[in-house]
Structure 1
């Protein structure tokens, strides 16, 4: 009985042991199998159910129904809280290359040289120091452009050489107004050289491209400094110690040699910048300005802004009649005006008096400014006409060339008429800064008209850069001719022929006028030059901040000093000009 029970009880366990052994061997070889886990779990669960009595369920409370998916609402935050908007990059950031290369050591050294030279040389005025400071800044831009893989193109060389040539004007002229124009033009040409622009938006916006690169250039340079000095603090300390030792040696032995020889002391004093404690903030500002300017130039060279990518869509083309009729009427008006001008102006003073009943000077004063504005407005009309010109039929191009070419030719005659009026004006009242400036602008507008005519024949691809080159060349020529010297020379010659001169106005010119004013007879010469002699004696500038015009004026006044004329100079002023037939009329005119 017992044996039968034991056989009965052991019969069902035998297959389970064999299956477990087989699965265990497989698990040992290949890891636990899913079937083995399932069989084991089923066996264990069956044993638990057989040995454990069922537990009655406890009272869990009322059943909560589940919310349907379509009725669920997403959890919302504060309704008054706005989502942060992503900041859109600026125009220059979208047009600039995304990742400029790292800063090379040569670029950093050139930037440091520019900053040091700015702090040492620019605090005493402008002269040849502007060109000296620009050289390491140009080298920094060259190193950065080479690291970015850029090559020197012909137009880049033209812009760069033109900018450096404009910096010769501060070295030659003492007058501040042509020097200011030359500096602004040099910065514009340098920016064009770095960005490489050729279209109208590129030339106009690229001229100010250095200012858009200032902040990015400083960040780029600071990142390069941190990368270079991160693991080389020992070398940095060595460089600082070397510099300090060299400066101490120069000061000690330079002071000994200067005290031993007066000639060497004078030479050392002329070559060494005058540094004082009171000028320290100004020198620090110039150092930072030079560093920021050089970094801006280098950053522009490494990652230029492609202003040429800005496209200006042409306007809606008009029909031939709608476009051409107003311009043809304008051409007829210009032709009628020019026919009268040729009859009047070519006839001389007598013809002017006969036709108008006015003096030549009054006639010139009445019409010059109107003709100047007429020239400017004509250029605006040409630009708008090209925007809306018809371009559908094959003959539209010939129509545009014919109508606008005729308008340009007639406007050139208007420019000649305005310059002739200015000649009459100057002959009556003398040459001034304003008169020579507006005459130069009118002459440049004539050059622009000639370039537009050439573009109509040869194509307009080169027109934006050609106009920019003409503007820079005009500024350079204006500085090289020495406008203050030309004004003084014309007034001295006018005094010799007409006997009238405005001494008070000539006293306010720059030192560039001294060579011409030196030709006046006494006491006019001394009365005119005594202010220049006093100012040059008070304001002594070092060699790098002295222009050639100032140096030449010093030599003339040292050789022939102005004598004190006492109260005689107060009785000399604008004199009466009886040539125009108006008794008691002063030749002074504010324009």
Structure 2
């Protein structure tokens, strides 16, 4: 473990005070308010707090650090730009997790690799043991020096009490005179009791606890990076980074016991599984393309045909990936002809998986054309594409042993998630349903009206062109809206534009 640099207590008090101020800002921005522009503002403040006070631990930024940081900032901006309910909730979990992992990578004494499982362990270490042990540090910082200044503080408090006692009668006289002289001032004084009565005692306690706990948590996190206690444990040579850095693994001794990644065992598994998959794929080809012409398997409806594709997808995800990743470990141990056999079987496995994935994708597309487009169906489509890319990367890794598979998965996963936030899911769903209406004349107006504020311009334009086909739903949506949010931290561009567009639309007579 590298030498620790423990800062002076004075600097620690500054960090604690800054954490307290940042907690006050957080309480102001988020208490009883929807996240909006407040989210990216606080994200920037939090990064400034962490990177400045723990700068002694800061690692040099590399290309992935910038990609990571940019992804976090783009995701935080979604609370300003969009109003999709799915990502609105999911990002509550994803963004803090990405921030914690990024902070750990940039500041942890363990300096974990961004592509290893060790990063997760280090992040959990800094979130809990490193953080919590410095809550006591914060208490010690507040208590330190009290003994020397006890007498002086007593004298100061005594003087304050005397001053208040003298001020009380003077304040009564002065306020009475001022309230008589100025009616506005009198109204202000009269409104004070109502203001204090409107403040809930329980709410006040909750706000104070919010600030105290959050300030302790942020101080503990920052000071846990600055003053770390080593919890590092040595991982085995064939640990979780085996797929990422296969070259550094030591060869297994000839006397090693039989494991599940034994090449012979893996070859047997692949042979058995591929026989079943090839049979399944051959059956798929008999009607994979025929379904588009109205040819379906016997006793099968459109819904049954599409729903069965999801079970295929689950099988590909849960079984094939497990076998594929496990087999990649076995390839390292195999040699000669056996290694080439395993590689061939893995290519067959990937190929069969891609065919099944395409089958499931086409079934869902057919289902959407018959029954419409929804959030869940769109997300399943996106997941199928993502899974197909993962399979392609795994296929590259079969023969190229040095290919950084885990790193590519992490980069692909991060970029894909950011893309899903910005791709405009609601707009795509609305456009697809509108196109379906133009072809079939079938439209689920109620579902379209339940889409997020992001899609309102398209819905208004469609209703105008179709002579008010959505006017009733849009009118109900406008009526259900509350008054414009007056708390600027909750400002959201999509919701602001939605309300303005709806008001302008109905002021002009709508589509009638």
Fold conserved (TM > 0.5)?
Answer: yes
Counterpart for residue 41 of structure 2: 132
Specify whether residues 500 and 309 from structure 1 end up closer, same or farther in structure 2 by C-alpha distance, changes over 3 A only. farther
d(CA) in 2 for partners of 1:176, 1:307 = 40
Specify whether residues 210 and 539 from structure 1 end up closer, same or farther in structure 2 by C-alpha distance, changes over 3 A only. farther
1:336 correspondence with 2:252: no
Aligned ranges for residues 245-324 of structure 1 at < 5 Å?
277-278=199-200, 279-288=203-212, 290-302=214-226, 303=228, 309-311=234-236, 313=238, 316=259, 320-324=263-267
Counterpart for residue 548 of structure 1: 493
Specify whether residues 452 and 366 from structure 1 end up closer, same or farther in structure 2 by C-alpha distance, changes over 3 A only. closer
Counterpart for residue 255 of structure 1: none
Counterpart for residue 471 of structure 1: 413
d(CA) in 1 for partners of 2:24, 2:408 = 36
Structure 2 SS opposite 1:352: coil
Counterpart for residue 527 of structure 1: 472
d(CA) in 2 for partners of 1:371, 1:340 = 16
Bigger Cα displacement from structure 2, 511-520 vs 289-298: 289-298
The Cα offsets for residues 442-493 of structure 1, whole Å up to 9 and x where unpaired, read as 2222222223233334446743333233222222222212323333332233
Contact kept in structure 1, 2:78 and 2:421, CA below 8 Å: yes
d(CA) in 2 for partners of 1:491, 1:344 = 26
Contact kept in structure 1, 2:101 and 2:119, CA below 8 Å: yes
CA RMSD, aligned part only? Answer: 3.9
113, 120, 136: which one pairs with 1:219? 136
Counterpart for residue 364 of structure 1: 306
d(CA) in 1 for partners of 2:334, 2:399 = 20
350, 353, 372: which one pairs with 1:430? 372
- Cα drift, residue 425 of structure 1: 1.3
Aligned ranges for residues 121-520 of structure 1 at < 5 Å?
121-123=29-31, 124-148=33-57, 150-196=59-105, 197-198=112-113, 200-205=116-121, 208=124, 211-212=127-128, 213-224=130-141, 277-278=199-200, 279-288=203-212, 290-302=214-226, 303=228, 309-311=234-236, 313=238, 316=259, 320-350=263-293, 352-353=295-296, 355-356=297-298, 358-387=300-329, 391=333, 393=335, 397-459=339-401, 462-518=404-460, 519-520=462-463
- Cα drift, residue 167 of structure 1: 1.0
The Cα offsets for residues 534-570 of structure 1, whole Å up to 9 and x where unpaired, read as 23334625333122211220121121138999xxxxx
Specify whether residues 298 and 405 from structure 1 end up closer, same or farther in structure 2 by C-alpha distance, changes over 3 A only. farther
Larger radius of gyration: 1
Specify whether residues 494 and 391 from structure 1 end up closer, same or farther in structure 2 by C-alpha distance, changes over 3 A only. same
- Cα drift, residue 409 of structure 1: 3.1
d(CA) in 2 for partners of 1:504, 1:304 = 57
120, 130, 137: which one pairs with 2:28? 120
Structure 2 SS opposite 1:367: helix
Structure 2 SS opposite 1:167: helix
d(CA) in 1 for partners of 2:400, 2:224 = 32
Consecutive unaligned residues in structure 1, runs of 5 or more = 1-94, 242-258, 260-275, 566-591
Contact kept in structure 1, 2:36 and 2:489, CA below 8 Å: yes
Consecutive unaligned residues in structure 2, runs of 5 or more = 106-111, 161-183, 185-197, 240-257
Specify whether residues 309 and 296 from structure 1 end up closer, same or farther in structure 2 by C-alpha distance, changes over 3 A only. farther
d(CA) in 2 for partners of 1:171, 1:477 = 16
Contact kept in structure 2, 1:107 and 1:144, CA below 8 Å: yes
- Cα drift, residue 118 of structure 1: 0.7
Contact kept in structure 1, 2:37 and 2:490, CA below 8 Å: yes
- Cα drift, residue 524 of structure 1: 3.3
Q: TM-score, normalised by structure 1?
A: 0.63
Structure 2 SS opposite 1:127: coil
Contact kept in structure 2, 1:175 and 1:511, CA below 8 Å: yes
d(CA) in 2 for partners of 1:194, 1:285 = 25
Specify whether residues 137 and 392 from structure 1 end up closer, same or farther in structure 2 by C-alpha distance, changes over 3 A only. same
**Structure with greater contact order relative to length (CA < 8 Å, sep ≥ 6):** 2
Q: TM-score, normalised by structure 2?
A: 0.72
Aligned ranges for residues 10-29 of structure 1 at < 5 Å?
none
- Cα drift, residue 374 of structure 1: 2.8
Bigger Cα displacement from structure 2, 220-229 vs 190-199: 220-229
